[in-house]
Amino acid sequence: MSREIFALKGTICYSTSPTELSITEGGYVVCENGHCAGVFPELPDRYRQIPCTDFGDELIIPGLTDLHIHAPQYTFRASGMDLELLDWLNTITFPQEARYEDTEFARAAYTIFAEDLKKGPNTRACIFGTLHVPATEILMELLNQTGLKTMVGKVNMDRNGSPVLQETSAQASADATLSWLEDTLTKFENVKPILTPRFIPSCSDELMEKLSALQQKYHLPVQSHLSENLGEIAWVQELCPDTHFYGEAYSRFGLFGGDCPTIMAHCVHSSDEEIALMKKQGVYIAHCPQSNINLSSGIAPVRRYLDEGLHVGLGSDVAGGTCSSILRAMADAIQVSKLYWRLIDSSMKPLTLEEAFYMGTEGGGSFFGKAGSFKEGYEFDAVVLNSSTIPTPLKLSPKDRLERLVYLSDDRNISAKYTAGRKIL
Ligand code: GUN
Ligand code: FE
């Protein structure tokens, strides 16, 4: 943690609720020992002597959280996008992920991934690796050096993979997971392990039982996929005939919220029962609009999730998604919500900019604790955005400028970035 105290001056913008933005032009946001000490229209006397960087009228927003991304898929993003989920996994994704058995390849690929993540607007991420322990540890080491705060999962898959990408048994998968946990639980300042059963079709009951025991022993968080695609859901029903809905295939092993902090990606086709259980158990939904379009999965009913008070953040789901910027995911979320409203259910109003901004900042950030906001006491994650790539002679309000920066998301607009008080860019 940084022991420094400093201020940033600019147009400070953050969510005060899921539907409201606070905007302070010519304001100051103060960082003290890695945490936010508040936003001030004038710098209070007690801070007169502290270093202050003046960013003029540039926007200063909280760091963004990507709640769902696959690091090994970064190499082939934006290719092979004409398939639906299960065919895409079998023909493109699994053969590509198999390459990470080769640690030299893994280091080369993950170096590019970590460098690009550092250059973008996200300050935190929950990341899938592959089933390979050495490659996943390389990924963690490289991410730790970026200063970003991340959770990384060695993927578990002991069934329905491919000859080149599947663990040999539930026991082998659990043993590899234990050895990875022992190596990484306390090794990194910025990177923590997260249990990562790929999805139910990839994980036998025996494996899920063993992961459940590890979860309880080490109090680990969990990330997985849920109700993304109709074919996938039908397959889970065949594989787990005793369950009433997909989420129950996780919850019967205690891997669905409650004492087990959980992120479920997608939730495009969740039933009423599944939604009620996610709400009761405090499961985080990672809404991945770009992936849902690319893989023709459908549109998640995010308006409903927000209105019913579920936890919702945004995910890029690279390489289902092509772009890792959560600014882009905000725009995509608004756009697909308009299609949902117009084409599927006219009672489900489109998302506002405020709501999308909340999901990309505090909505997802809160999975890490107090993150994603400039409220006092939150970890100091900040991104400074300039308009260098989008000049205009128009006199725009701060909110209009924010909207353009979201819709035209471009890493070249980032002037500076801080995570937990530390300057990253
Ligand atoms: N379900 C299981 N694995 C994956 C994956 O790699 N990407 C997506 N989008 N869904 C999945
Ligand atoms: Fe995914």
In a shared domain, residues 383 and 364: no
Q: Which ligand is nearest to the CA of 126?
A: 2
Asked if 354 and 363 touch (Cβ cutoff 8 Å), the reply is no
pLDDT for 3 equals 57
pLDDT for 34 equals 98
Q: Distance from the CA of 225 to the center of ligand 1, in angstroms?
A: 7
Does the residue 165 lie in any domain?
A: yes
Does the residue 243 lie in any domain?
A: yes
Does the residue 211 lie in any domain?
A: yes
pLDDT for 90 equals 97
pLDDT in tens, 189-247: 999 999 999 999 999 999 999 999 999 999 999 999 999 999 999 999 999 999 999 99
C-alpha 238/C-alpha 232 separation (Å) is 10
Among protein residues, the one whose CA lies closest to atom 7 of ligand 1: 320
Residue 423 pLDDT > 70, yes or no? yes
* CATH at 204: 3.20.20.140
pLDDT in tens, 162-182: 999 999 999 999 999 999 999
Preceding peptide of 125 cis, ω within 30°: no
Asked if 177 and 196 touch (Cβ cutoff 8 Å), the reply is no
In a shared domain, residues 339 and 413: no
Q: Distance from the CA of 92 to the center of ligand 1, in angstroms?
A: 11
Tokens of 59: 């926007």
> Which structural domain, as residue segments, surrounds residue 302?
64-368
In a shared domain, residues 140 and 211: yes
Percent residues over pLDDT 70 in the chain: 99
Tokens 């998604």 belong to 321
Does the residue 1 lie in any domain?
A: no
Residue 337 pLDDT > 90, yes or no? yes
Q: Distance from the CA of 116 to the center of ligand 2, in angstroms?
A: 19
Mean pLDDT calculated for residue range 279-289 = 99
Does the residue 257 lie in any domain?
A: yes
In a shared domain, residues 238 and 216: yes
Domain end position, chosen among 324, 343, 368: 368
Does the residue 289 lie in any domain?
A: yes
Percent residues over pLDDT 90 in the chain: 99
C-alpha 257/C-alpha 277 separation (Å) is 9
Tokens of 186: 């306390």
Does the residue 112 lie in any domain?
A: yes
Q: Are strands 284-287 and 149-153 parallel, antiparallel or unpaired?
A: unpaired
In a shared domain, residues 207 and 245: yes
The DSSP symbol for 140 reads H
Environment class of residue 346 by beta-carbon count within 10 Å: exposed (0-12), middle (13-18) or buried (19+)? exposed
In a shared domain, residues 71 and 121: yes
Environment class of residue 354 by beta-carbon count within 10 Å: exposed (0-12), middle (13-18) or buried (19+)? middle
In a shared domain, residues 94 and 231: yes
In a shared domain, residues 11 and 120: no
In a shared domain, residues 265 and 309: yes
The pTM of the full predicted model, rounded to 2 decimals, is 0.98
In a shared domain, residues 158 and 256: yes
* Ligand 1, atom nearest to 201 Cα: 2
Q: How many domains does the chain have?
A: 2
Does the residue 18 lie in any domain?
A: yes
Half-sphere exposure of 89 (CA within 13 A, CB side): 17
**Residue 45 C-alpha from the chain's centroid:** 38
pLDDT for 103 equals 98
Mean pLDDT calculated for residue range 49-70 = 98
Among protein residues, the one whose CA lies closest to atom 3 of ligand 1: 198
Residue 289 pLDDT > 70, yes or no? yes
* CATH at 411: 2.30.40.10
Indicate the top mutation candidate among 85, 157, 227, 297 to test ligand 1's pocket, ranked by most ligand atoms within 8 A of CB. 85
Domain end position, chosen among 368, 385, 409: 368
pLDDT for 82 equals 95
Mean pLDDT calculated for residue range 181-185 = 98
In a shared domain, residues 160 and 229: yes
Ligand 1 cavity residues, CB under 6 Å:
70, 85, 89, 93, 198-199, 225, 228, 291, 317, 320
In a shared domain, residues 377 and 305: no
Residue 266 pLDDT > 60, yes or no? yes
Beta-carbon contacts of 375 under 8 Å, excluding residues fewer than 6 positions away, are: 14, 16, 36
